[in-house]
A and B are shown apart, each in its own frame.
Chain A
């Protein structure tokens, strides 16, 4: 059982901080918590963890797709991909700002990502091997992310909810564009169809892991749902994803690489082969196929951008040049 306590005062089971009950009452009334409000330290720490990982994921999510910009098959696809990558980086910045309202500095969070101290989403630890991967990522990973983010946008923390509203609005185009790409490939040549199927085969398990460990294993969920940081459990989000997207995948004549996948009409849920959550833990702790490549790409971008940041700072700190006096 988790009892949230304030730093200054340790509360026992019988002596709950009155501020905590007021805080929980506000959340139950559907009010948003703002940065200056009192909040339990556990609420603050959980939000920092979530928003920080979310921001890192947006930044790292730009990397596999960014790599494909020079290889986009048409000019329209290239424009769309450039726009999507720019959106993801922008979302990362919005989220770092939201996390900053809870304490940590953006600088520290960027540093933690580069040093490997903080995590990013499991799906970005895998390589994008073909153009069809770009299509599957944009369609299904953005779809899974939208399910997560539209839920979180109704959450109790004001700055995070506001950032997510904007993010969801922008990601709608990512998913639609991804779906369009998949439809084109699915209706294309044999080579194109095989390429799409191959991409789904490789991405299926990472996508099934995307919403996080099953409720049996997820240690944070109960408290987070109670405080409306999350409004649905990981398994509920996964079910929603399957409900919405399995029929669409089948419409595209895609074979889903899980032989045990079936709809159980009695419980109105999808049965599936539960992913290996030890594998998931290994991957998100930077033990995935391209974890080091991703972190290294981020580090290089930071180092390469140093001169730009120095120039901007020098410009901001410039002294006006005195004009020579005229006689």
Chain B
């Protein structure tokens, strides 16, 4: 018997429009068309589902857990985060002619 070992397709379902497609598992199928039919039977019997993706497992490239040091942060990455920046709660700007005076004294601000 060599007639049941079809290729593997990974299955992603979307529970509502606007939501992301989420990986739910995988199935064997002879082609993508049949994979959709089987994926619907296997993974959409109960919960809401508005869309399915099937992807040949062979098309997926993944990182290795043994290489997980590639995800380690070698340096401080706080500059990539909103919490890495400090702003005062209340900003009090001077009134009247004062901004111009400040600007004149600061060459960098002058161009703004």
B residues near A83, Cβ cutoff 8 Å? 45
Complex A-B, nearest 8 residue pairs according to Cβ-Cβ distance, in ascending order: A316-B30, A316-B31, A107-B5, A312-B30, A309-B3, A107-B4, A313-B30, A90-B42
Complex: chain B residue closest to A318, CB-CB: B31
Instruction: Give the interface of A toward B (CB within 8 A).
Output: 34, 36-38, 83, 86-87, 90, 93-94, 97, 100, 105-107, 110-111, 162-163, 166, 170, 306, 309-310, 312-313, 315-317
Complex: chain B residue closest to A37, CB-CB: B65
Q: Are B65 and A312 in contact (CB under 8 A)?
A: no
Q: Are A312 and B42 in contact (CB under 8 A)?
A: no
User: From residue A46, how far is it (CB to closest CB) to chain B in Å?
Assistant: 21
Selected contact of A315 from candidates B28, B31, B42, CB within 8 Å: B31
A315 CA to B31 CA in the complex, in Å? 9
Selected contact of A97 from candidates B1, B25, B34, B45, CB within 8 Å: B25
Interface string of B33-65 (1 = CB under 8 A from A): 110000001100110000000000000000011
Q: Are A107 and B1 in contact (CB under 8 A)?
A: yes
User: From residue B14, how far is it (CB to closest CB) to chain A in Å?
Assistant: 17
Q: Are A107 and B25 in contact (CB under 8 A)?
A: no
A236 CA to B27 CA in the complex, in Å? 34
Q: Are A106 and B28 in contact (CB under 8 A)?
A: yes
Count class of interface residues, chain B:
20 to 34
A170 CA to B44 CA in the complex, in Å? 12
Q: Are A94 and B25 in contact (CB under 8 A)?
A: yes
- Name 7 A/B residue pairs within 8 A (Cβ), A-sorted: A86-B41, A86-B45, A97-B27, A306-B3, A309-B4, A316-B33, A316-B34
A296 CA to B27 CA in the complex, in Å? 25
Complex: chain B residue closest to A311, CB-CB: B30
A residues near B82, Cβ cutoff 8 Å? none
- Is B2 an interface residue when CB atoms closer than 8 A count as contact? yes
Instruction: Give the interface of B toward A (CB within 8 A).
Output: 1-6, 8, 24-28, 30-31, 33-34, 41-42, 45-46, 64-66
Q: How many A-B residue pairs have CB under 8 A?
A: 58
Q: Are A163 and B31 in contact (CB under 8 A)?
A: no
Q: Are B4 and A163 in contact (CB under 8 A)?
A: no
A93 CA to B27 CA in the complex, in Å? 8
A37 CA to B64 CA in the complex, in Å? 9
A residues near B3, Cβ cutoff 8 Å? 306, 309-310, 313
Q: Are B25 and A163 in contact (CB under 8 A)?
A: yes
A225 CA to B33 CA in the complex, in Å? 42
A residues near B24, Cβ cutoff 8 Å? 166
User: From residue A201, how far is it (CB to closest CB) to chain B in Å?
Assistant: 34
Complex: chain B residue closest to A87, CB-CB: B45
User: From residue B104, how far is it (CB to closest CB) to chain A in Å?
Assistant: 61
Q: Are B4 and A110 in contact (CB under 8 A)?
A: yes
A residues near B45, Cβ cutoff 8 Å? 83, 86-87, 90, 170
B residues near A309, Cβ cutoff 8 Å? 3-4
A residues near B30, Cβ cutoff 8 Å? 312-313, 315-317
